Amino acid sequence: MNRILVVEDHAPLRAQIAALLQGAGWLVEEASDGRLGLQLALEQPPDVLVLDLGLPGLDGIELCRRLREQADRHVPVLMLTARDGLDDKRQGFGAGADDYLLKPFAGEELLWRCQALARRGELGRSPVLQRGPLRIDRRAGAVSAGDGPVLPLPRQAYRLLVALAEAWPRTVTRSELQQQLWADEPPESDALRSHLYTLRQALAADQALVKTVHGVGLRLDLPG
Ligand code: CA
Query: Could you tell me the distance, in angstroms and rounded to a whole number, from the CA of residue 40 to the centre of ligand 1?
Result: 18
> How far apart are the two ends of the chain, measured CA to CA in Å?
24
Buried b (16+ CB within 10 A) or exposed e, 161-186: bbbbbbbbeebbeeebbebbbeeeee
Query: Could you tell me the distance, in angstroms and rounded to a whole number, from the CA of residue 121 to the centre of ligand 1?
Result: 26
Specify the 3-state DSSP secondary structure of 116.
helix
- Per-residue pLDDT averaged across 28-52, rounded? 95
CATH superfamily to which 3-123 belongs: Response regulator (3.40.50.2300)
Same fold, 3-123 and 128-220: no
pLDDT of residue 139: 85
Q: How far apart are alpha carbons 157 and 116 in whole angstroms? A: 29
Query: Could you tell me the distance, in angstroms and rounded to a whole number, from the CA of residue 103 to the centre of ligand 1?
Result: 10
Query: Could you tell me the distance, in angstroms and rounded to a whole number, from the CA of residue 91 to the centre of ligand 1?
Result: 16
Query: Could you tell me the distance, in angstroms and rounded to a whole number, from the CA of residue 158 to the centre of ligand 1?
Result: 41
DSSP H helix total and E strand total for the chain: 8, 11
To the question of domain 128-220 being in CATH 3.40.1190.20, the answer is no
pLDDT of residue 224: 65
Residues 140-169: tens digit of each pLDDT:
899 999 889 999 999 999 999 999 998 888
Query: Could you tell me the distance, in angstroms and rounded to a whole number, from the CA of residue 55 to the centre of ligand 1?
Result: 5
Q: Where are the domains of the chain?
A: 3-123, 128-220
Q: What is the DSSP string of 140-199?
A: TTEEEETT-PBP---HHHHHHHHHHHHHTTSPEEHHHHHHHHHTTS---TTHHHHHHHHH
Residues 39-49: tens digit of each pLDDT:
999 998 899 99
Query: Could you tell me the distance, in angstroms and rounded to a whole number, from the CA of residue 8 to the centre of ligand 1?
Result: 6
Q: What's the pTM?
A: 0.68
Query: Could you tell me the distance, in angstroms and rounded to a whole number, from the CA of residue 169 to the centre of ligand 1?
Result: 32
Lowest-confidence region among 22-26, 96-100, 213-217, 220-224: 220-224
